[in-house]
């Protein structure tokens, strides 16, 4: 129903070819600047065929989003859910985030360039889907809030504190403005997230002690 719902039938080979071509083009020039003809050339499919399968340029973007977004969040949630301690969970979360981006740079570029989204319904659908995923993730953290391990904050701050630095670094890297493999920075990023979210008490207890 929602524009970015996953398709009923699994994508045919032809569809996959088109999606791959579209992803490449979207990643290079952004959705708005991408042309059906660009996609046609890359995919060696005909215009007619593309329209037969996806109906609209946005339809292609939607299909890619459905595919990418769910995959990304699934990995995030799986990684986080596998850990029992907050600090480790945050480690795993960041590692999953960065790992996924490095594994799918084109898809990441496409997914995280929100601005491009064209129509409002489309934008709306993405937000809801993302919000839903985030809630699931958030549930995993609730026990630690209750235990006082993590600080209670305005809801809107969790995302930024947890993933903001990683997002910023990822953007640099995806845009070619940072060279080093971001996986090398996972420890720092998760460390920052941990310090930002841990309660003062937990944090004090965790910090390496200076010799007296």
Partner DNA sequence: GATGAATGAGCATTCATTCAT
Partner DNA sequence: CATGAATGAATGCTCATTCAT
Residue owning tokens 């493999």:
181
The smaller minimum CB distance to a copy of itself, of residues 17 and 138, is found at 138
* Binding of a copy of itself by 9 (CB under 8 A): no
Residues in the chain: 212
* Cα-based distances in Å from 142 to 81, 92, 150, 179: 12, 16, 9, 36
The smaller minimum CB distance to DNA, of residues 37 and 181, is found at 37
* Binding of a copy of itself by 157 (CB under 8 A): yes
**Judged by CB under 7 A, which of 52, 85, 146, 183 binds DNA?**
52
Token pair for 101: 């981006």
The smaller minimum CB distance to DNA, of residues 56 and 130, is found at 56
Beta carbon of residue 208, minimum distance to a copy of itself (angstroms, whole number): 5
Beta carbon of residue 117, minimum distance to DNA (angstroms, whole number): 14
Beta carbon of residue 67, minimum distance to DNA (angstroms, whole number): 17
Torsion of CA 17, 21, 23, 24, to 10 degrees: 140
* Binding of a copy of itself by 120 (CB under 8 A): no
Beta carbon of residue 91, minimum distance to DNA (angstroms, whole number): 42
What's the CA gap between 65 and 77, in Å, rounded?
18
Q: Hey, which residues between 167 and 196 contact a copy of itself (CB under 8 A)?
A: 167-169, 171-172, 175, 177-180, 184-185, 188-189, 191-192, 195-196
End-to-end distance of the chain based on CA atoms, in angstroms?
Answer: 63
Burial label, 24 (beta-carbon count in 10 A; 0-12, 13-18, 19+) = middle
Beta carbon of residue 178, minimum distance to a copy of itself (angstroms, whole number): 4
């Amino acid at each position: 129903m929602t524009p970015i719902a996953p398709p009923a039938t699994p994508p045919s080979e032809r569809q996959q070819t088109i999606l791959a071509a579209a992803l490449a083009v979207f990643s290079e020039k952004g959705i708005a600047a991408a042309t059906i003809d660009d996609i046609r050339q890359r995919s060696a499919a005909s215009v007619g065929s593309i329209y037969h399968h996806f109906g609209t340029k946005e339809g292609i973007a939607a299909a890619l989003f459905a595919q990418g977004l769910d995959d990304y969040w699934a990995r995030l949630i799986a990684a986080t859910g596998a850990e029992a301690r907050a600090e480790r969970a945050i480690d795993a979360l960041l590692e999953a985030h960065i790992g996924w981006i490095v594994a799918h740079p084109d898809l990441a570029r496409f997914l995280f360039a929100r601005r491009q989204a064209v129509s409002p319904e489309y934008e709306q659908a993405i937000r809801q889907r993302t919000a839903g995923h985030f809630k699931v993730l958030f549930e995993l953290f609730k026990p630690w809030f209750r235990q006082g391990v993590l600080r209670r904050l305005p809801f809107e701050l969790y995302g930024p504190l947890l993933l903001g630095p990683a997002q910023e670094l990822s953007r640099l890297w995806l845009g070619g403005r940072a060279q080093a493999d971001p996986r090398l920075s996972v420890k720092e990023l998760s460390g920052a997230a941990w310090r930002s979210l841990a309660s003062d008490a937990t944090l004090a207890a965790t910090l390496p002690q200076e010799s007296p």
